[in-house]
Amino acid sequence: MNNASSNLNTANLQSASGSQAGGPSPTFSPLYQQIKALITQSLQSGEWKPGELIPSEVELAGRFKVSQGTVRKAIDELAAENLVVRKQGKGTFVSTHHEARAHFRFLRLMPDEGVPHYPESKFIEVKRMRAPADVARLLELKSGDAVVFIKRVQSFDGIPTIVEELWLPGLIFKGLTAERLNEYKGPMYGLFESEFGTRMIRAQEKIRAVCAGDSEAELLQLAAGTPLLMSERVSFTYGDKPVELRRGLYSTARHHYQNDLS
Amino acid sequence: MNNASSNLNTANLQSASGSQAGGPSPTFSPLYQQIKALITQSLQSGEWKPGELIPSEVELAGRFKVSQGTVRKAIDELAAENLVVRKQGKGTFVSTHHEARAHFRFLRLMPDEGVPHYPESKFIEVKRMRAPADVARLLELKSGDAVVFIKRVQSFDGIPTIVEELWLPGLIFKGLTAERLNEYKGPMYGLFESEFGTRMIRAQEKIRAVCAGDSEAELLQLAAGTPLLMSERVSFTYGDKPVELRRGLYSTARHHYQNDLS
DNA sequence: GAGTGGTCTAGACCACTCC
DNA sequence: GAGTGGTCTAGACCACTCC
């Protein structure tokens, strides 16, 4: 059996256009895309939390009244986008930033020698402020909306290498304080995910070369005028909503920015 | 019907381990991976050339004596790796660098304002030489092996922005001269693909910040000491074979290096 | 042994292109 | 209408994990 029962079974989903009179629907979307959207909603709403097991393919197929193959195709795409991780024999898990695996997905600065490891953070400043115009624009806020501002220096093996400033929407990151940041070990995205229910899933980065100013030079213990990489990064959560602006200066004396083109 | 006939039909491929005595094979590889390897061989050998149509899924399924679904899965992966491009209703085509689409896959320098377009090249030097130790190591050649060396400046709207040096294995790029390069319009990878049968399919890039030396400053018409992005890129063809080393200096006065993290 | 994701098949029908 | 890739189903069996 196929189409007849399929249309019956998927009555609550948008049925494929071909079986209806009047030709192709202008908003045609395959079943598996609709299933993917439903699963994404459950991820976004926190019904299945980072690190947790989601229902099995068979279970989801039953729930959505589609074949296992259709659920598979939906999950395949979610896995390709790093929203979930499949583990054969175990199940499919919601991705989390609390994993060694995830730590270097957004940090592309690699040591010239030795094995990559996560830097230590020292927070210079943490405060709430009103969003300047450029920050507001990139975070899709109104100029003057509340934002959390963070400035920190990151060091590898005690050598200060990154100085960065972050802006976060004040509404989402209400209780974020210097204390919380200092207590927390590991990548900030882990904290954001666990404590503020906001998972970064994608980022856009623009990189330039600049010379260190006096203030940056001091923080990085370098001579003023030393060339640095300057990164401006906007990170997005579900629904392509921007939720972080980060401006970083990277010393590339002992590190390089690594990128794989394919 | 399934397994019995499948094993018969795929007698010339490595059959799945489960139906044999003695438990799982240590070198188990799924059928679709074997099909993928066979298709990749045909791409590599030039049996199907860049821009050409490859045989249909039904045709390949018949040829390899597997189901269309298995061929689909193989081609899905090749499409994800940008080796082929699927076009619904038309067929599957071998990817080519002679396409607007491909031009910005390896060039990540984007204008701060205006629409991206491909730069004009001015060749400063083209010569054959012996590979220095570091070049030989990155290209997996022996120190002293013949390489082609190219130095050029690239300009956007008449403004010199990139100065780069390239090294190519001499054996592969035998007839590559300044004349050929000057005649040719468009990305060098198009020339390499058409004239030398070598397609770049992947690259590894390492980026640092440096200050312009006198020579670079002159070529880019900048003050000495201006901060520049320095990129070292190794490009690979089929079989992860390195076939190009490129060292570039990018002015980021009017451009930025763009990267999407996901 | 039971449960998970992973592979493979056969077959139907759809969307799209070209004629 | 014929041919292409795209979607969807049902069902079998495999690889792997946990018990």
**Nucleic strand D near CB of residue B18 (< 7 Å):** yes
Inter-CA distances, A81 with A127, A199, B36, B261, Å: 33, 13, 22, 11
* Per-residue pLDDT tens over the stretch A159-174: 999 999 999 999 999 9
Tell me whether residue A36 is in a domain: yes
- pLDDT surpassing 70 at residue B11: no
Q: Cβ neighbours of residue A228 under 8 Å, at least 6 residues apart? A: A209, A210, A211, A212, A216, A220, A249, A250, A251, A252, B209, B227
Strand order in the sheet with A227-237: A120-130, A146-156, A159-169, A241-250, A227-237, A202-211, B255-261, B109-111
Closest nucleotide relative to residue A68's CA, C1' based: D9
Q: What is the average per-residue pLDDT within A139-149? A: 97
Last residue of a domain, one of A68, A94, A120: A94
Q: Name the residue closest to C13, CA to C1'.
A: A3
Is residue B4 over pLDDT 60? no
Nearest beta carbon to residue B261 from set A110, A202, A256: A202
The Cα–Cα gap between B76 and A13 comes to 26
B82 contact A CB<8A:
yes
B207 close contact with A: CB closer than 8 A: yes
Cβ contacts of A119 within 8 Å, gap of 6 or more? A154, A155, A156, A161, A162
Q: Span B9-29, mean pLDDT?
A: 47
Using 50, 70 and 90 to split pLDDT, how confident is the model at B186? confident
The CATH number of residue B251's host domain is: 3.40.1410.10
Q: For A10-27, what is each residue's pLDDT tens digit?
A: 335 555 433 333 334 456
What number is the average pLDDT over the span A139-144?
Answer: 97
Across the range A76-99, mean pLDDT stands at 97
Sign of CA dihedral B210, B212, B216, B221: positive
Domain count, chain A: 2
Q: Strand D closer than 7 Å to the CB of A70?
A: yes
Question: Is A132 found in the same domain as A88?
Answer: no
Q: Find the CB nearest B202 among A206, A227, A261.
A: A261
Residue A222: which of A249, A256, A248 has the closest Cα? A249
A70 and A116, same structural domain?
Answer: no
- Does residue B262 form part of some domain? no
Q: Which of A94, A116, A147 is the last residue of a domain?
A: A94
Whether residue A107 is found in the same domain as residue A235: yes
How far away is chain A from the Cα of B92, in angstroms, using its nearest Cα? Answer: 19
pTM to 2 decimals? 0.90
Q: Which residues of A69-93 are buried (b: 16+ CB within 10 A; e: fewer)?
A: ebbbbbbebbeeeebbbeeeeebbb
Question: What pLDDT sits at residue A145?
Answer: 97
Question: Could you tell me if A173 and A148 are in contact, meaning their C-beta atoms sit under 8 angstroms apart?
Answer: yes
Quickly state the pLDDT bin for B6 (edges 50, 70, 90). very low
Using the CB atom, is residue A13 less than 7 Å from strand D?
Answer: no
State pLDDT tens for residues B125-135: 999 999 999 99
pLDDT tens readout for residues B22-67? 334 456 799 999 999 999 999 999 999 999 999 999 999 999 999 9
Q: Domain check: are B137 and B237 in the same one?
A: yes
* Facing B256 at nearest CB: one of A208, A228, A257: A208
Domain residues for the domain of A212 are 100-257
What does the pLDDT read at residue B14? 54
Answer yes or no: is pLDDT of B119 > 90: yes
Per-residue model confidence (pLDDT) at position A101: 85
Together in a domain, B68 and B168: no
Handedness of CA B185, B186, B189, B193 (dihedral sign): negative
